[in-house]
């Protein structure tokens, strides 16, 4: 097979000449194609069939133990000018990068099949959607791309019509961490990834295309490509407010996107609708509002911690037609992970007999892949070609200390500063140390395909005459008390914070001004049915002025690291909040004091 688009045929031929596969397979996305692929993977041991009674059409994949997460240190943005990639990215000269990675691609598909995967990010008929083609030698990638994107014949037809597409070349190579690179060429709208078969390293439609390349395109075309979930909050009057939220990897997007409100809320008629759990593309509409689509068609979600108590919607969609990666299994071949249930794991994520001595049964970054439509709270608006209008943007991270449960930015400029200043303790979603506080602006540190200084300027520039922009908030579900335990119950109870946020958007909720932004009074939060002592609620909303002064000093140093390219407006906004904090300090530190 081939396509009607000569440019595509030529590229596939070039890649085949370089990588020397035994055969080339053009994916049509059909069920029969998927069935055949799964059958072959099961025969080869790449997939393990799970219990077909409790989990029909569910499979387990065990990735190489050295290939279990994104690799930020091996991820590059290759622009002609190093400053266009910025201090937030690893940079390599494009010609040098091509030479280095092409040497690894040479002959790497001998004995393998080269799969051609045409895919569409976003509803297939949406003007906001964009297409790509991934060439890969991994059948596991094909099966995942089929769930995560609109993949196959319809996407190919659109690509042939439009004539343009993002080019992604992927090979698992030798799965050798020393021969692993994830390279982006935004000026050429292309991606080359070798040496990993895992998640965002290998499913190129996701972080590589829909965030790194798309963020670059979005800047030049006047829209935003963000690491955000999208949900709809339906109130008892039946009105639905759409909210987008950016939290870093493994900080709660999937869980918030599928939230089940507490009983008292459900009884009153509240409901949460899920549009997306990881990526949001937002475009200013003719009415001045931001209109958002979820470019993905499935979820690649964190398994550990997912339970009937924390995320019943996720659990409900995982009992059929799902792929599990690096989870444990029980004696009767059901998937298992820490936090799921009291059942006992029989084999761990590496297939070894489970022993508590060899660490967690499921890898901390083990994941499930499943079609979005299987989610009980899936919103049909996820297929709306125009997207949904966004009323509020929420930033948030994992902060054990200092950062209150919720606050609201004064205006768009302040909101951009709040997003740019985000900090979060690192998680297992990327290789490296876990629990280390780092700046992760807009949760895009690993995903922005260009200089953060220019990205902040682009965000500020979204505010134009006539714009009706969403209000911006910051949340922290992860503040801990002196006992080292989370102060806030989180999960379904986050609804209480969402209600305040939506209320602020329509002017029905009160707030108190502080130097860092607007906070609810404890009594502004609906706490019906919640048994959290008043002292803990006070702690959750407490502002430690001295701690915030230190935080703003550290934010100032971070912003200064972007040099002269940092927008002056952001620097001024930082100065404005810093002086409010200084004025608020009950015991200002005077020079020369002991
Ligand atoms: P990526 O897919 O990596 O982008 O992650 P994500 O942002 O979608 O995170 P996810 O919702 O999968 O949550 C990651 C981990 O945080 C899981 O183990 C959750 O159980 C836990 N988590 C999510 N929400 C909350 C919360 O409100 N409180 C607490 N304490 N933990 C939470
Ligand atoms: C993340 O790390 O933010 C993810 C998982 O969503 S991955 O697709 O591996 O990037
Ligand atoms: Mn993510």
254 CB under 6 A from ligand 1? yes
Q: What whole-number distance in Å separates Cα of residue 418 and Cα of residue 399?
A: 14
Token pair in block for residue 559: 């912003």
Please spell the DSSP secondary structure of 50-106, one letter per residue: --TTTSTT-EEE---TT-SSB-GGGEEE--SSHHHH-TTSEE--HHHHHHHHHHHHT
pLDDT at 589: 57
Element (H, E) at 245: strand 240-246
How confident is the model over 49-67, as a mean pLDDT? 98
Q: What's the whole-number average pLDDT of the chain?
A: 97
pLDDT band at 586 (very low <50, low <70, confident <90, very high): confident
Checking if the pLDDT of 277 tops 70, the result is yes
215 CB under 6 A from ligand 1? no
- For 486-541, the three-class secondary structure string (H helix, E strand, C coil) is ECCCCHHHHHHHHHHHHHHHCCCCCCEEECCEEECCHHHCCCCCCCCCHHHHHHHH
Nearest CA to ligand 1 atom 11: 252
Residue pLDDT, tens place only, 79-116: 999 999 999 999 999 999 999 999 999 999 999 999 99
CA 37–ligand 1 middle distance (angstroms): 31
Checking if the pLDDT of 324 tops 60, the result is yes
pLDDT at 197: 98
207 CB under 6 A from ligand 2? yes
342's CB contacts (< 8 A; 6+ apart) are none
Task: Kindly report the pTM of this predicted structure.
Answer: 0.98
Nearest CA to ligand 1 atom 17: 305
Which positions are annotated as active-site residues?
251
DSSP state of 204: T
pLDDT band at 542 (very low <50, low <70, confident <90, very high): very high
158 and 130 in contact (C-beta within 8 Å)? no
137 CB under 6 A from ligand 1? no
361 and 349 in contact (C-beta within 8 Å)? yes
132's CB contacts (< 8 A; 6+ apart) are 118, 119, 121, 165, 166, 167, 168, 204, 205, 209
How confident is the model over 499-526, as a mean pLDDT? 96
Nearest to 228 by CA among 437, 453, 475: 475
Residue pLDDT, tens place only, 372-398: 999 999 999 999 999 999 999 999 999
Q: What whole-number distance in Å separates Cα of residue 417 and Cα of residue 409?
A: 9
Percent of the chain residues topping a pLDDT of 70:
98
Sign for the CA dihedral angle at 197, 199, 200, 205 comes to positive
pLDDT at 281: 99
Task: Determine which of 1-10, 115-124, 414-423 has the lowest per-residue pLDDT on average.
Answer: 1-10
Phi-psi region of 414 (alpha: psi -120 to 50; beta: other; left: phi over 0): alpha
Residue pLDDT, tens place only, 172-218: 999 999 999 999 999 999 999 999 999 999 999 999 999 999 999 99
Q: Give Dmax over CA atoms of the chain in angstroms.
A: 79
Which atom of ligand 2 is found nearest the CA of 206? 8
Residue pLDDT, tens place only, 239-268: 999 999 999 999 999 999 999 999 999 999
Q: What whole-number distance in Å separates Cα of residue 148 and Cα of residue 576?
A: 43
Checking if the pLDDT of 438 tops 60, the result is yes
How confident is the model over 306-310, as a mean pLDDT? 97
pLDDT at 2: 87
491 CB under 6 A from ligand 1? yes
Burial 279-304 (b: 16+ CB within 10 A, else e): bbbbbbeeeebbbbbbbbbbbbbbbb
Helix (H, G, I), strand (E, B) or coil at 586: coil
Nearest to 459 by CA among 284, 224, 216, 283: 224
CA 44–ligand 1 middle distance (angstroms): 33
CA 298–ligand 3 middle distance (angstroms): 12
Q: How many CA atoms lie within 13 Å of 401's alpha carbon, on the beta-carbon side?
A: 13
pLDDT at 593: 45
Percent of the chain residues topping a pLDDT of 90:
98
Which atom of ligand 1 is found nearest the CA of 300? 2
Distance of CA 402 to the CA centre of its chain: 24
254 and 299 in contact (C-beta within 8 Å)? yes
pLDDT band at 585 (very low <50, low <70, confident <90, very high): confident
pLDDT band at 360 (very low <50, low <70, confident <90, very high): very high
Substitution candidate for ligand 2 out of 71, 74, 207 with most atoms within 8 A of CB = 207
**Which ligand is closest in space to the CA of residue 207?**
2
Q: What whole-number distance in Å separates Cα of residue 329 and Cα of residue 336?
A: 5
Substitution candidate for ligand 1 out of 227, 251, 431 with most atoms within 8 A of CB = 251
């Amino acid at each position: 097979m081939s396509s009607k688009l000569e440019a595509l045929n030529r590229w596939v031929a070039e890649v085949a000449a370089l990588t020397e596969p035994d055969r080339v397979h053009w994916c049509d996305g059909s069920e029969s194609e998927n069935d055949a692929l799964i059958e072959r993977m099961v025969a080869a041991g790449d997939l393990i069939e799970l219990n077909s009674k409790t989990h029909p059409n569910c499979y387990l994949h065990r990735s190489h133990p050295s290939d279990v997460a994104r690799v930020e240190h091996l991820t590059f943005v290759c622009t002609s000018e190093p400053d266009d990639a910025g201090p937030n990215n690893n940079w390599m000269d494009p010609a040098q990068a091509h030479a280095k990675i092409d040497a690894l691609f040479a002959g790497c598909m001998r004995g393998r099949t080269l799969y051609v995967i045409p895919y569409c990010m976003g509803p297939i008929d949406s003007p906001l959607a964009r297409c790509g083609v991934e060439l890969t030698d991994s059948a596991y990638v094909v099966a995942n791309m089929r769930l995560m994107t609109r993949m196959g014949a319809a996407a190919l037809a659109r690509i042939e019509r439009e004539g343009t597409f993002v080019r992604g070349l992927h090979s698992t190579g030798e799965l050798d961490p020393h021969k692993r690179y994830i390279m982006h060429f935004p000026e050429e709208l292309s991606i080359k990834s070798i040496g990993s078969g895992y998640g965002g390293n290998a499913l190129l439609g996701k972080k590589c295309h829909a965030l790194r390349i798309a963020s670059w395109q979005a800047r030049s075309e006047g829209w935003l490509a963000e690491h955000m979930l999208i949900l709809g909050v339906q109130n008892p009057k039946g009105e639905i407010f759409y909210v987008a939220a950016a939290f870093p990897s493994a900080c709660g997007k999937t869980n918030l996107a599928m939230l089940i409100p507490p009983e008292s809320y459900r009884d009153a008629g509240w409901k949460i609708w899920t549009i997306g759990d990881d990526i949001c593309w937002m475009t200013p509409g003719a009415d001045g509002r931001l209109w958002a689509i979820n470019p993905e068609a499935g979820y690649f979600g964190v398994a550990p911690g997912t339970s009937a108590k924390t995320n019943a919607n996720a659990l409900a969609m995982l009992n059929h037609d799902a792929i599990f990666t690096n989870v444990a299994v029980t004696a009767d071949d059901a998937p298992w992970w820490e936090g799921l249930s009291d059942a006992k794991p029989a084999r761990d994520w590496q297939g070894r007999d489970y022993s508590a001595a060899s660490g967690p049964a499921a890898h901390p970054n083990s994941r499930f892949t499943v079609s979005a439509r299987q989610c009980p709270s899936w919103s049909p608006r996820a297929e709306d070609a125009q997207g949904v209008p966004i009323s509020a943007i929420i930033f948030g991270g994992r902060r054990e200390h200092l950062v209150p449960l919720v606050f609201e930015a004064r205006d768009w400029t302040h909101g951009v500063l709040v997003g740019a200043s985000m900090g979060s303790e690192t998680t297992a979603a990327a290789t490296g140390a876990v629990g280390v506080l780092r700046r992760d602006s807009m949760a895009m540190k690993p995903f922005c395909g260009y200089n953060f200084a220019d990205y902040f300027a682009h965000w500020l520039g979204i505010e134009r005459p006539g714009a009706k922009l969403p209000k911006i908030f910051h949340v922290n579900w992860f503040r801990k008390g002196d006992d080292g335990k989370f102060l806030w119950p989180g999960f379904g109870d986050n609804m209480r914070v969402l209600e305040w946020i939506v209320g602020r958007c329509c002017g029905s909720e009160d707030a108190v001004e502080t130097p860092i932004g607007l906070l609810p009074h404890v009594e502004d939060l609906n706490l019906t049915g919640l048994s959290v002592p008043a002292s803990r609620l006070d702690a959750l909303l407490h502002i430690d002025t001295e701690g915030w002064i230190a935080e703003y000093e550290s934010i100032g140093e971070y912003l200064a690291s972007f040099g002269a390219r940092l927008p002056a407006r952001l620097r001024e906004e930082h100065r404005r909040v810093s002086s409010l904090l200084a004025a608020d300090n009950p015991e200002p530190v005077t020079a020369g004091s002991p």
